[in-house]
Amino acid sequence: MLTPRQLFLRHQAQTSDFPLLLEIERAEGVWMYGPDGRRYLDLISGIGVSNVGHRHPRVLQAIQHQLDKYLHLMVYGELVQAPPAELAQALHHTLPPELDNVYFTNSGTEAVEGALKLAKRHTGRTELIGAHNAYHGSTQGALSVTGSESFKRSFRPLLPDVRHLRYNHVEDLALITGRTAAVIVETVQGEAGVRVPAGDYLRQLRRRCHDVGALLILDEIQCGFGRTGTFWAFEQFGVVPDILLTAKGMGGGMPIGAFIARQDIMQDFKSDPILGHLTTFGGHPVSCAAALATLRVIQEENLLAGVAEKAARFRRQLRHPAIRGVRGLGLLLAVEFESFAVLKPIIDHALAHEGVLTDWFLFCDNSLRLAPPLTITDAEIDWACAALLRAVAHVTGTPAG
Ligand code: PMP
């Protein structure tokens, strides 16, 4: 009989020649456990998903409760089901009042796709503008607005009428004109290596979109749901998007995403054509029940209040001559090294010898990704930092000062 590892390599489609190949049997809180009982501290939350930790008891309870009632019943938007309806209201209550209408999807990418279509339909325009080094997903629409030519080249032609501006460059805002249907940016860029909006960049972007009648889409698929210390990252920058995107951390470990807008924008999906965006599984009741529990955990366990202090605790300890700096916002952090050649063996050593799971970024390979569950304790942060510093010292041959 083949082992799961052999089956994975033989029958599961591979997307690189160097998958992590770590086998996990169960997970709890910030820890993942291998079949041999070894444990790994998860410092990346499955790439920004496990914001409330793995298998949070309240999330499990909500899932169980829904399992006892019904699973899938019908395609999107026909039957009244309490989990999506209640989740939509709870999301609305975390938002400025105008963002009152939620379309549920299966993933972040699908939220991007729906939002791009909505913007074209609502404005009657075709041009879409993204940012360099942005990641929005791997389907052809989301890939079109993604800002990496090397990711896109082999799949062209993609969407026509797409342009890219440089994130944080106010002078590029002139690219946005009366032809533009929408500008899509991540409030804090994730895969670019955690790039935080500088000064009043987002406010100026917001103003420019408003002035020319383009919709502003903020992608908070990675930076939302508490990751940066506020429920939504945009709260920290004095702007409100026309369309907000969420996924990943939203489901507490279950697959779900959403795009959120004003009702008068969203209602354009009702005509020309009717059923302007469809999904079979979007708003799945079990995922929605898990998402509502996740939202409540963030609010009722006061997770946001601890984020800044936990981030500061990482930043204080992660000092070493090989570390060039730590960037980020809240618990979305990038630890910068000289190069991938230095960073990669540190990541490998931390995993193999310290039991600490980290990563780099799609479009920034000299920086280590830190995005632990927001539930991580001070003791776990101290343990993680000591382990990471041992890995850095081992690989560079230089002890932490
Ligand atoms: N937008 C951003 C900012 C992301 O980080 C991601 C996933 N890394 C996506 C969109 C795509 O989300 P998903 O993988 O759920 O389709």
- Please report, for the chain, the start and end positions of each structural domain, with discontinuous segments joined by +: 4-55+301-396, 57-300
pLDDT of amino acid 184 = 99
pLDDT of amino acid 6 = 96
Q: Do domains 4-55+301-396 and 57-300 have the same CATH topology?
A: no
Distance 394 CA to ligand 1 centre (A): 33
The model's confidence at residue 320, banded by pLDDT at 50, 70 and 90, is very high
Q: How far apart are CA 375 and CA 145, in angstroms?
A: 33
Tens digits of per-residue pLDDT, 27-51? 999 999 999 999 999 999 999 999 9
**Closest approach atom of ligand 1 to CA 247:** 15
Q: What does 285-345 look like in DSSP terms, one character per residue? A: HHHHHHHHHHHHHHHHTTHHHHHHHHHHHHHHH---TT--EEEEETTEEEEE-S-HHHHHH
Of residues 311, 250, 342, 345, the one with CA closest to residue 43: 311
| pLDDT exceeds cutoff 80 at 401 | no
pLDDT of amino acid 256 = 98
Residue ID of nearest Cα to ligand 1 atom 12? 108
pLDDT of amino acid 140 = 98
CATH (residue range 57-300): 3.40.640.10
Q: How far apart are CA 54 and CA 69, in angstroms?
A: 24
What is the chain's mean pLDDT, rounded? 98
φ, ψ for residue 331 (rounded to 5)? -95, 35
The model's confidence at residue 400, banded by pLDDT at 50, 70 and 90, is confident
Tens digits of per-residue pLDDT, 191-245? 999 999 999 999 999 999 999 999 999 999 999 999 999 999 999 999 999 999 9
The pTM of this model reads: 0.98
Tens digits of per-residue pLDDT, 56-107? 999 999 999 999 999 999 999 999 999 999 999 999 999 999 999 999 999 9
Distance 135 CA to ligand 1 centre (A): 7
| pLDDT exceeds cutoff 90 at 4 | yes
Any idea which fold 4-55+301-396 has? Aspartate Aminotransferase, domain 1 (3.90.1150)
User: Percent of the chain having pLDDT more than 70?
Assistant: 100
Q: How far apart are CA 244 and CA 258, in angstroms?
A: 8
Ligand 1 contact, 247 CB (< 6 A): yes
Ligand 1 contact, 269 CB (< 6 A): no
Q: Residues near 204 by Cβ (< 8 Å), separated by ≥ 6?
A: 170, 173
pLDDT of amino acid 133 = 98
Ligand 1 contact, 146 CB (< 6 A): no
CA angle 221, 74, 252 (to 5 degrees): 30
Ligand 1 contact, 135 CB (< 6 A): yes
Distance 168 CA to ligand 1 centre (A): 20
Ligand 1 contact, 255 CB (< 6 A): no
Q: How far apart are CA 84 and CA 89, in angstroms?
A: 9
Distance 55 CA to ligand 1 centre (A): 21
Ligand 1 contact, 221 CB (< 6 A): yes
* Contact between residue 328 and residue 312 where contact means Cβ atoms under 8 Å apart: no
Residue ID of nearest Cα to ligand 1 atom 1? 136
Tens digits of per-residue pLDDT, 129-181? 999 999 999 999 999 999 999 999 999 999 999 999 999 999 999 999 999 99
* Contact between residue 181 and residue 214 where contact means Cβ atoms under 8 Å apart: yes
Ligand 1 contact, 228 CB (< 6 A): no
**Closest approach atom of ligand 1 to CA 362:** 8
